[in-house]
Structure formats: C-alpha cells, structure tokens
Amino acid sequence: MLVLSKAVIVIEKGLNLTTEDTNRLRLRLRERDDYDYEHEENDMQKYFKEDLRAMNITAWSAAECCLAKTFASTVDSLVTALRRKNRVLICGNGGSAADAEHFAGELVGRFGYDRASLPCVSLCTPSATFTAIANDYGYDQVFKRQVQGLGSAGDVLIGISTSGNSANIVEAFKTAKEMEITTVAMTGNRDSKLSQIADITLRAPSAQTPRIQEIHGLLVHSMCRAIEEEIFPVTGRAPALPAEKIIKPDQLARLSAAIVSHQAVFTNGCFDILHPGHVYVLKEARKLGELLIVGLNRDNSVKRLKGDGRPYHRFEDRAEVLAALACVDYVVGFDEDTPKRLIEALTPKILVKGGDYNHDTIVGADWVTSHGGEVKVVPLLPGHSTTGILKNNDR
C-alpha cells in the first residue's frame, strides 16, 4: 500500500523535485487503487493540531502576562466614553480591518443580548470615502482624514496592527492625540511606533501574526461583552464560566449556574499520589464533554477514607497539581466521604468513574440520570495504581 508522507518525501528528496512536480506526483498517487487515503488524511491533520497547540501556548502566556490589566484600563476608557455619549472609532488593515468591522458590528448591533445601539464606527468600511482619500491624499492618510471629520474630544480611537507600525494608523493616532481623543493600540508583543504614542497598548504575547490575530479576536469579544454588561446590566442571565480553575466554596453556586448550558463532565477522587492512571482517566473523561470538573476530597475526608497517615499532600497542593493539567477545567473540594452533595449541587451532564464500577455503585448516578444526564465508566490503565506505588515503596 502506498503511503503519501513516505513515498512522496523519499522521491522528492532523491530527485530534488520542485513544488509543482511534487504536487503532480501527489495527484498521480491518488489515482492508484491502492492509495492510502486514511494515512493522507491523518497526515493533513497535523496542520490543525500544530496551530491549535501554538494557539494554546500563546493563550497561556496571555493569561499570565499583564494583558488583563491593560484590558481593564481599555474597557474603563470605552465605557466612560460611551456613557457620556462619545463614540468609538476603530481601524486596521487586512485581517485587522476585519477585526475592526467585527468590533463595530457587535457594538452597533448586539453582542450577547438585545439592548440599545452603541455609537461605534469602523473607518475601514466606507469604500468610496476610503478610496477617495487614498487617491487624493495617499494611503497613509485614509484613517487620519476620517478621524478629523468624525472624531471629537472624548472619543476613543482603537487601532489594530499586528506589527504596531502601520503608517496610516500611526498618522491617525497623532491626529487623535491633538484632538484629545483617547488612543488604544492592539499590537503584538514588540515595542512599536504605536506603543510609543498610544495611551493604552494591548500587546498580544507573540511576534507571530496568526497568534497575534487570535488574541486580538478574543480581545474584541471580551471588550464587547464587558461594554455590554457594564452599560446594560441584565439580571437573571447565566453567569460566565469562572476565570480561576480552583473553585472556592462561595463560588460553587456561580459555577453551577454557569455550566447549565455546557456539556459538563464530573469525576472525583483523592488524587493524593497523582500517577499516569489518574491522568489517563481524566483525559478520557474530558473527551466526553465540553469541560471537566474534578471533585477533590479535602484533607479530613482523605484521612477518614485512607487512614491517619494520609493525605501525603495537602488539599491546596493536590488542587494546584490537578489544575495544572490541561484536561482539567475546574477543581472543587468537598469535605464529606462521598461527592453526593457536590454532584447534586452541580448536576453535571455526564458523571464519570474510572475502574470496575457500575450504575449501582457510582455515587450520584441516580441523581445525574434522573436529570437527563449520563453515567460513564472509564477502564483503568493497567499497571498504574496508588496501591501499587505504595506497596513498591513499602508504605
């Protein structure tokens, strides 16, 4: 059976084929009856998976850097301006122009729910105006001229530029500052012309254009949601999912309300000595829904279940280790011997246990199924258990 990734690469290297010749070879191979389409499909998946991994890396950096603080300053400026009836102007080039139009559309229209329209103008959309200015004054003046005609003191101008050096946005910012318009730059992580003159700079923590644009897209949505909820608060709506992974007792009600519209998966355990068997079960559980909540026995509960010498690690430490796993979305502690009360408080859509369990032996199974949920059992990973680890270490 022919395998694309091997056959083509070997021939390509041996003959020094051009890209055009390589593509011809690929097409010829696909015409054969014994061609391995499944392998090619798997081979093509790498592009998506690699980019998804790269996006996750950048997202982690975004969560840990100062972006949240500058985001808060930006939202404060936008909300203040809109409340006093000023407007938001926004501009960008290429993909950033699409972000600008997206932002304006969400404010003038709606983001999450119906409310009054908000004054936001994308300077990228009026094609006749845009091309007339570019033709008569030059492309670097296309945003500056519109700021002069549409802007007023107290407005906010947002400029989106992955490099931070777009000449037409720099010119617009210079004019905006002269007009006492607040300027917000959305850039990558490098110092730039815009970062030097902007009042606020939202720096995506990457120098790669696709990663910067992905963070910019998130910022656009987060700003729109924040503006909408700050200016037009609505009671009775389900809250957003909590930002922190380790849920405190006073946050449990919020988590419960937030997961109603999600395919939430729940599992539980002591996780005193985390090993590959635990990780396997957690990863398999996470695949069953949109998010995974882990119920974690607190120290007194572990002591009652495992004996006076346990736990080896405090609840806080065990929770931190679990929260560091990518497959775990939330960790919630419980003091009782079983998670029955916690399961009833959360009412997950899917309840998971690892090991030799059935519906009758899984705590909370009746509650979950009676509320329309499912109960799943994930087989344990052979050769990995806490008991085995302790036995091998004479404990």
Could you tell me if 211 and 137 lie in one domain? yes
For residue 347, tell me if it sits in a domain: yes
Could you tell me if 118 and 212 lie in one domain? yes
Could you tell me if 57 and 70 lie in one domain? no
Supply the CATH number for residue 71's domain: 3.40.50.10490
Where a domain ends, among 203, 231, 259? 231
Could you tell me if 76 and 216 lie in one domain? yes
Could you tell me if 303 and 344 lie in one domain? yes
For residue 238, tell me if it sits in a domain: no
Where a domain ends, among 185, 203, 231? 231
Looking at residue 39, what is its pLDDT?
67
For residue 212, tell me if it sits in a domain: yes
Looking at residue 395, what is its pLDDT?
60
| Cβ atoms 274, 359 nearer than 8 A | no
Looking at residue 385, what is its pLDDT?
84
pLDDT (tens digit, 0 to 9) for every residue of the chain, 395 residues total? 444 555 554 444 555 667 777 667 666 666 665 656 566 667 889 999 999 999 999 999 999 999 999 999 999 999 999 999 999 999 999 999 999 999 999 999 999 999 999 999 999 988 999 999 999 999 999 999 999 999 999 999 999 999 999 999 999 999 999 999 999 999 999 999 999 999 999 999 999 999 999 999 999 999 999 999 999 999 989 999 999 999 999 999 999 999 999 999 999 999 999 999 999 999 999 999 999 999 999 999 999 999 999 999 999 999 999 999 999 999 999 999 999 999 999 999 999 999 878 888 999 999 999 999 999 999 988 888 887 888 887 66
Could you tell me if 303 and 161 lie in one domain? no
- What one-character-per-residue DSSP string does 68-79 give? HHHHHHHHHHHH
| Cβ atoms 294, 352 nearer than 8 A | no
Could you tell me if 59 and 92 lie in one domain? no
Could you tell me if 301 and 361 lie in one domain? yes
**Residue of 176, 174, 163 whose CA lies nearest to 92:** 163
H or E stretch at 203: strand 200-203
Could you tell me if 59 and 106 lie in one domain? no
Looking at residue 10, what is its pLDDT?
46
Could you tell me if 98 and 222 lie in one domain? yes
Number of domains in the chain: 3
Q: Where are the alpha helices (DSSP H) in 275-348?
A: 276-286, 299-306, 315-323, 340-346
| Cβ atoms 157, 184 nearer than 8 A | yes
Could you tell me if 142 and 189 lie in one domain? yes
Could you tell me if 203 and 85 lie in one domain? yes
Distance CA 340, CA 356 (A): 19
Looking at residue 355, what is its pLDDT?
85
Looking at residue 3, what is its pLDDT?
47
Domain range for 55 is 4-63
Distance CA 113, CA 217 (A): 19
